[in-house]
Chain A
């Protein structure tokens, strides 16, 4: 089959209503419509020049939104055109292994963000990195120590000492009524 034949077949394909592509697109369109409605509601309360760009954007956005919805509901999905600035995802024949790895990736990111929010960057981040490496990459313990030390050095050396970042109060510290200790590091006036 020639490339052109393949493309014409792809462009006329029907997509299942339960496909993640279709559901994802409907959710994206719903969120976009919600945002546009918010602007429509708020626009009358804005001073004159502040309305102009929302007007221009909405006047382009609404017709395009309905056009896209018509395409999606008709399930006349075009081939994933161009992606000229993008590679897309590399896929193999083993879809179940890929799904497993994707789920693990999403879960690990969620754990990282929750961990950082709950116990802060100084403990949460190195702990997450070495846990991931130990559990999934089976990295030897002495490498883990080195990597944890490198992260600690980065957090204390660059972010605390050089940039002197003001950290947020992590959840557990707030609940325990303890000030986040790393906001007091380095001590005022330095180490002299």
Chain B
């Protein structure tokens, strides 16, 4: 509880910074490896759940997505804020997030008994196949380009196999460098691949925010926020529908909250009365639907991550790496020996929403000011902390070289549409994959290919990838239409200064 309480202010502040959530998650994870998993894991999940709750603030008030999963919120949230109804939009967003988050937690809890029975049927051969197909599936889904995604997964596996291997009774691809004998440590890789490119985006885009506009957008302070809550509760069935979409899409491997919130937005536009005319112009229902869905995915993405070691989103790929680092192998143990840990995560997701929503409601105007801190001030502070994180994970100065190498790679991949999560997942899963492969090949040989469960996994993952790609294509079309519409409309004042002073 103390760890969770410590996480709340960090989560709130980092959620406010456009692109700030991921670097701070990495910092939290790197220090959490020093703690007992029963303290550190709830801390991390609590951080993620609380972080989601402040993401709508930059989207609604500044017109800049705090994360990709709050892009749809801008469509109606920002026009509302420009009309001086920012507080109303925030109140509606918090309320729908609260209900969505709790729905996600309950859904995770409800799935556990079924997962327990299913996982009893799995042996080493099935987990070998799950790990292998999981890496491939995330590679394909996360980029939308099969060759690029799989090549990144191959690169990740080759990096993950570097160093001493018990099964090989020797080292692999160390190039004679002592540092590589223990393999490539995951924390410097994550800092380079994810944190540095996100901070680069913050610094290079340098979006200054006019503070005086924020006071105009929150004209009536908390009164508007409470009005927004009342309006959201009036649309309770929209919230429930959107939350269920969030859980379902979140549970599909490799999709996560981004498609979920766009689908929730689209279903609200299709099903709500008069929404086709008013969505995009400042309709409160256009804020409620994506936010409910976004938070509900917290429970959904944990299902494939904890039960099958297939991450549901990019942050979940990092959490998966963290789990393996602290000695917890996702899979049957999460509903067996570690069931208490899984249940504690359910409580944390629900508790984080219940505790954090009143805080953000009370301190909305203050939190809004944090979102307006210039990137040039935030960047060095964050870089300083992530540098320490990278070093203290392994206590070797060569870790900074790893950070630099993967930082260059991460910037390139982010800039030119190469998916970064598969590389991380492959590095993390290379060890368990090799272990399961060795056991199953030695025990079963070629006959493992004809096991019914083996074939069933291939069919299920194949169907999930197909469905995910279909969902993704629809989501991309929706996002493209939004971008095209935005280009035709007036420019966003929050981004007018993008090319401004250095």
**Of residues 79 to 106 in A, which have CB atoms within 8 Å of B's CB atoms?**
79-94, 97-98, 100-102, 104-105
Contacts of A52 in B (CB 8 A): 434, 437-438, 441
**Residue in contact with A136 in the complex, picked from B142, B376, B387, CB distance below 8 Å:** B376
Residues of B within 8 A of A88 (CB): 414-415, 417
Given contact pairs A52-B438, A117-B400, A85 touches B498 in the complex (Cβ within 8 A): no
Q: Is there an interface contact between A116 and B387, defined as CB atoms closer than 8 Å?
A: yes
Q: Are A57 and B161 in contact (CB under 8 A)?
A: yes
Shortest C-beta distance, A97 to chain B (Å), equals 5
Residues of B contacting A98 in the complex (Cβ-Cβ under 8 angstroms): 204-205, 499
Q: How far is the CB of B441 from chain A (nearest CB, A)?
A: 6
- B502 partner residues in chain A, CB cutoff 8 A: 97, 100-101, 104, 136
- Name the one of B204, B388, B441 contacting A89, with C-beta atoms under 8 angstroms: B204
**In the assembled complex, which residues on chain B have CB atoms less than 8 Å from the CB atom of A68?**
147-148, 151
B313 contacts the other chain (CB 8 A): yes
Contact A24 B169 (CB under 8 A): no
Give the docked Cα–Cα distance between A113 and B395 (Å): 14
| Interchain CB contact under 8 A, B415 and A89 | yes
Question: Which residue among A51, A97, A117, A159 has the maximum number of chain B CB atoms within 10 Å of its CB?
Answer: A97
**Consensus secondary structure, chain A interface:** helix
A125 near B204 (CB under 8 angstroms)? no
Residue of A nearest to B196 (CB): A109
Cβ-based interface call for B97 (8 A): no
Instruction: State how many angstroms separate the Cβ of A188 from the closest Cβ of chain B.
Output: 19
Pair A84/B144 contact, Cβ less than 8 Å: yes
B346-389 with Cβ < 8 A to chain A: 374, 376-377, 379-381, 383-384, 387-388
Whether A166 sits at the interface, judged by CB under 8 Å, is: yes
B396 near A168: Cβ-Cβ < 8 Å:
yes
Q: Closest residue of chain A to B495, judged by CB?
A: A92
Residue of A nearest to B476 (CB): A82
- A14-72 contacts to B, CB under 8 A, are 21, 24-25, 28, 32, 35-36, 38-39, 42, 45-47, 49-54, 56-57, 60-61, 64-65, 67-68, 71
In whole Å, how far is B320's beta carbon from the nearest beta carbon of chain A? Answer: 14
Is A178 interfacial (CB-CB < 8 Å)? no
- Report if B170 contacts A (CB, 8 A): yes
From B148, B434, B441, B498, A94 is in contact (CB under 8 Å) with B498
Q: Does B419 sit at the interface, judged by CB under 8 A?
A: yes
Q: Within the complex, which residue of A3, A35, A85, A116 is in contact with B142, where a contact is CB–CB below 8 Å?
A: A85
When the two chains form their complex, are residues A139 and B147 in contact, meaning their CB atoms are under 8 A apart?
no
Q: Check if A165 is an interface residue, CB within 8 A of chain B.
A: yes
- Residue numbers in A under 8 Å from B313 (CB-CB): 85
**B235 is an interface residue with CB less than 8 A from chain A:** no
Quick check: A102 and B200 within 8 Å, CB to CB? yes
Tell yes or no: B339 within 8 A of A by CB.
no
Q: Which B residue's beta carbon lies closest to that of A130? A: B380
In the complex, which residues 193-224 of chain B have their Cβ closer than 8 Å to any Cβ of chain A? 196, 199-201, 203-207
Residues of chain A with a CB closer than 8 A to B484's CB: 3, 6
Residue contact A83 to B384, C-beta cutoff 8 Å: no
Contacting pair B150 A60 (CB below 8 A): yes
Known interface pairs A53-B161, A64-B150, A102-B204; A38-B175 also in contact (CB < 8 Å) = yes
Residues on A with beta carbons closer than 8 Å to the beta carbon of B142 = 82, 84-86
B367: shortest Cβ distance to chain A, in Å? 20
Question: Given that A78-B145, A136-B502, A163-B392 are contacting pairs, would A105 and B416 also be in contact in the complex, using a CB cutoff of 8 Å?
Answer: no
Among A65, A136, A167, max chain B CB count under 10 A is at: A136
- Contact in complex: A93, B417 (CB < 8 Å): no
A39-B158, A53-B437, A109-B196 known; A117-B397 Cβ under 8 A: yes
Question: Given the known A-B contacts A38-B175, A136-B502, are A121 and B388 also in contact in the complex, defined by CB atoms under 8 Å?
Answer: yes
Contacts of B173 in A (CB 8 A): 35, 38-39, 42
Contacts A105-B200, A105-B203 given; does A139 touch B167 at CB 8 Å: no
Decide if B472 touches A54 in the complex (CB within 8 Å).
no
Which of under 10, 10 to 19, 20 to 34, or 35 or more describes the interface residues of A?
35 or more
- Tell me if A147 is interfacial: C-beta within 8 Å of chain B: yes
Q: Within 8 Å of chain A (Cβ to Cβ): is B239?
A: no
Q: Is B168 an interface residue (CB 8 A)?
A: yes
List A residues 136-192 near B (Cβ within 8 Å). Answer: 136-137, 139, 147, 151, 154-155, 159, 163, 165-168
* Contacts known (A109-B407, A136-B376); A90 close to B205, Cβ less than 8 A: yes
A119 within 8 Å of B (CB atoms): no
| Partner of B157 from A45, A57, A80, A129 at Cβ < 8 Å | A57
Taken residue by residue from 314 to 338, chain B's Cβ proximity to chain A (1 for < 8 Å, 0 otherwise) reads as 1000000000000000000000000
Which of B175, B374, B414 lies in contact with A86, CB distance below 8 A?
Answer: B414
Q: Write out, one digit per residue, whether chain A residues 106-143 have a CB within 8 A of any chain B CB (1) or not (0).
A: 00111011001100010001101100110011010000
Q: Which residues of A contact B87 (CB under 8 A)?
A: none
Task: Report Cα–Cα, A84/B420, bound state, in Å.
Answer: 11
Establish whether residues B169 and A47, one from each chain, have CB atoms under 8 Å apart when the complex forms: yes
Whether, in the assembled complex, A7 has its beta carbon less than 8 Å from a beta carbon of chain B, the answer is yes
CA distance in complex: A36, B173 (Å) = 9
CB distance B143 to A81 under 8 Å?
yes
10 contacts between A and B (CB under 8 A): A47-B169, A51-B168, A53-B161, A68-B151, A83-B143, A85-B314, A85-B419, A102-B200, A133-B380, A165-B395
Known A65-B154, A101-B502; further 19 A-B contacts with Cβ < 8 A = A6-B480, A35-B159, A35-B173, A49-B441, A50-B165, A52-B437, A81-B144, A84-B258, A85-B313, A85-B419, A87-B19, A87-B67, A89-B415, A93-B499, A112-B387, A121-B391, A163-B392, A165-B395, A168-B395
Please report A residues at the B interface, Cβ cutoff 8 Å: 3, 6-7, 21, 24-25, 28, 32, 35-36, 38-39, 42, 45-47, 49-54, 56-57, 60-61, 64-65, 67-68, 71, 78-94, 97-98, 100-102, 104-105, 108-110, 112-113, 116-117, 121, 125-126, 128-129, 132-133, 136-137, 139, 147, 151, 154-155, 159, 163, 165-168
B interface, CB within 8 angstroms of A: 19, 34, 65, 67-68, 132, 141-145, 147-148, 150-151, 154-155, 157-159, 161, 165, 167-170, 172-173, 175, 196, 199-201, 203-207, 254-256, 258-259, 313-314, 374, 376-377, 379-381, 383-384, 387-388, 391-392, 395-397, 400, 403-404, 407, 409, 412, 414-417, 419-421, 430, 433-434, 437-438, 441-442, 472, 475-477, 480-481, 484, 495, 498-500, 502
